[in-house]
Structure 1
Amino acid sequence: MKFWKMNKIKYLISLTTLILVVACGSNKPPESGTAEELYSRAMELFDDEDYLDAASHFEIIKLQYPASLYADDAQFHIAEINYRRKEYIMAAFNFSLLRRIYPGSPHVKDALMKNAMCFYELSPPYDRDQDYTMKAIESFQEFQYLYPEDSLYTEATNKIIELRNKLAYREYFTAQLYTKMDSPLSAMIYYETVINKFSDTEYFEPAFFGKIEMLVWMKRNEEAASMIGAYRKTFPNGPNINNLPNITVSSK
């Protein structure tokens, strides 16, 4: 809710700015007319990639004809203009707004996928805050839940895999950093995070092996031996299968 409250303010500011820019940059204001006439002109501008003028026409349709058959189309294209102009925060807001105001619109499915793509584009490198990454994953998962038979299901899966690998690498990188700092206990905590939360990523196996190395380093041989056995069962052809240490556990 906080995200949308903040961006509602940004949306109003951006809308005001858009009106001022269009007013200054256009030779004439958007024409008046019926909703159909305005929409036809807006789409001509949109197809010509005259996005600012197109957006002003779509906004007028929403303001003057909010109950018309073109209102949801106008809202969708406003969001699409934001997306094409790489204004991803505003695009996400407007795609979400369409879903809330026009839940019966034929654009709802595309708006959900595009909303997820906005967060995907906003997802930063692994060493930054990953809030947008999490929002993207949640949005792609919501799309898959609502449209399991859709042709874009596979694309959503691929994006989720990519983003989860980024989150896993963030934890794995931190583990390696602590290893270089001679802090095996701290490193092991991050390896365990990868093992417990990101077993579906490419960092699962190296984190598993990394934890074994940390246990050996700390001379926790019984735990290390148990992990080695688990590694052999889980990764019988794993890249580190021949690098597993030989552990001797004293009998009591």
Structure 2
Amino acid sequence: MKNVLYLFVLVILISSCSDFQKALKSEDVSVKFIEATKMYEAKKYAKALRLFDQIAPAYKGKPQAERMFYMYAQSLYKTEQYYLAGYQFESFVSSYPKSEKVEESAFLGAKCFSELSPVYTLDQTDTYKAIDKLQNFIDIYPESTNVAEANLLVKELREKLELKAYENAKTYNNISDYKAAMVAFDNFIINFPGTPYKEKALFYKLDSAYNLAINSIPMKMEERLISAKAAYTGFVKYYNNSEYKPKADEMLARIENDLKQFSK
């Protein structure tokens, strides 16, 4: 019985492969469309794509075009070809604005860019694009069932930009470019007022101001010491019980001691 079942499955597989190969070689686009649809419904997206790639140009304007281009975009998405999938979904939305699949396609097109968003250390061009496209989807389809996921994706993408901005500022501090670090931390706090990195940002701004001051030439030292003292005040105003407070107090002691020479 097992052997019979095995042979039956084998015959089906061979027949299926044979049909696919015939469709690939066929000059008849309708044959390719039927086989591509069969592959798509069987979730064999890579095979479906090989056929869709062949027939897509010929199907523009045909009655089956809407269905074909939707399956084409989905196949690209399922095989994680997000650049191409995003393009196809956006093309679908503009070509078939009355389609029942338009809302889903608009969401998946925007989501493709979130999939393309790289780790925070790399260029974030695709992250900004993803946020814009997801936000545009939310604005156009505020009642969509996909809005919750879209909002979550936007939140995650913004957190990535937030982390990158913080790490960029911290890098300036690490390489002792204290002027640039102070500006970067100020901009970071302005751009991300509710950030969970605010405590660290304020401390490292103080650290940058402190190091800039104590390593300054005499004619600039007083002004920079005063600026560092203001950075200390800004830090303890919000985080008087911070784990960084002892270190900040050490800095303040040095700042006040160095300022004495200018009061004489």
Please report the TM-score for the alignment, with normalisation by the length of structure 1.
0.71
Q: Distance in 2 between matches of 1:169 and 1:107?
A: 36
Counterpart of 1:194 in structure 2: which amino acid?
A: F
Match of 1:109 among 103, 110, 119: 103
Letter in 1 for 2:157: L
Residue 38 of structure 1 and its aligned partner are, at CA, apart by 8.3
Distance 1:66 1:232, change over 3 A: farther
Is 2:168 aligned against 1:174? yes
Change (3 A) 1:67 1:185: same
Superposed counterparts of 1:102-141, under 5 Å: 102-141=96-135
The answer (yes or no) to whether the contact 1:161–1:201 under 8 Å persists in 2 is no
What does 1:34-113 correspond to in 2, within 5 Å? Answer: 42-55=36-49, 56=51, 60=55, 63-64=58-59, 66-68=61-63, 70-113=64-107
CA contact (8 A) 2:206 2:231 kept: yes
Instruction: Give the CA deviation at 1:207.
Output: 2.1
Aligned AA (1:209):
F
Q: Which is worse superposed, 58-67 or 78-87?
A: 58-67
Deviation at 1:134, TM superposition (A): 0.9
1:175 Cα deviation from its structure 2 partner: 1.8
Supply the distance in 2 between the matched residues of 1:66 and 1:237 (Cα, whole angstroms).
68
Question: 8 Å contact 2:92–2:102 — kept in the other structure?
Answer: yes
Answer whether contact 1:232 1:241 (CA < 8 A) is retained.
no
Cα pair 1:119 1:133 within 8 Å, conserved: yes
Give the aligned CA root-mean-square deviation in angstroms: 3.6
Letter in 2 for 1:86: E
Greater helix proportion: 2
Letter in 2 for 1:110: E
Measured in 1, the distance between the counterparts of 2:19 and 2:34 equals 21
Task: Indicate the larger mover: 70-79 or 216-225.
Answer: 216-225
Deviation at 1:63, TM superposition (A): 3.2
Give 1:10's aligned residue.
Answer: none
Aligned-partner residue type, residue 162 of structure 1:
E
The 8 Å contact of residues 58 and 74 in structure 1, kept in 2 or not, is answered as no
State the number of aligned residues: 225
Q: Distance in 2 between matches of 1:240 and 1:109?
A: 49
* CA gap 1:158/1:238 in 2 versus in 1, 3 angstroms: farther
CA shift, 1:238, in A, is: 7.9
What SS does structure 1 have at the residue aligned with 2:22? coil
| Change beyond 3 A, Cα 1:136–1:61 | closer
Query: What is the identity, as a one-letter code, of the residue corresponding to 2:75?
Result: I
Partners of 1:120 and 1:180 in 2: CA distance? 30
Question: Contact 1:194 / 1:203 at 8 angstroms: preserved in 2?
Answer: no
Q: Is the 8 A contact 1:191 1:207 kept in 2?
A: yes
Confirm or deny: 8 A CA contact 1:59 1:74 kept in the other structure: no
Does the 8 Å CA contact 2:82/2:116 hold for their aligned counterparts? yes
Is the 1:144–1:156 contact (alpha carbons within 8 Å) kept by the matching residues of 2? Answer: yes
DSSP 3-state at the match of 2:181: helix
Once the two structures are TM-superposed, the CA of residue 184 in structure 1 deviates from its matched residue by 1.2
SS at match of 1:27: helix
Conservation of the 8 A alpha-carbon contact between 2:131 and 2:154: yes
Q: Higher mean Cα deviation, 97-106 or 185-194?
A: 185-194
Alpha-carbon offset, residue 242 of structure 1: 4.4
Amino acid at match of 2:156: E
Q: Say which one has the larger Rg.
A: 2
Q: Are 2:204 and 1:218 equivalent residues in the alignment?
A: no
Unaligned runs of 5+ in 2: 1-17, 214-223
Name the TM-score, length of structure 2 as normaliser: 0.68
Closer, same or farther: CA 65–216 of 1 in aligned 2, 3 Å: closer
Deviation, structure 1 residue 100: 1.4
CA shift in 2, pair 1:81/1:64, >3 Å = closer
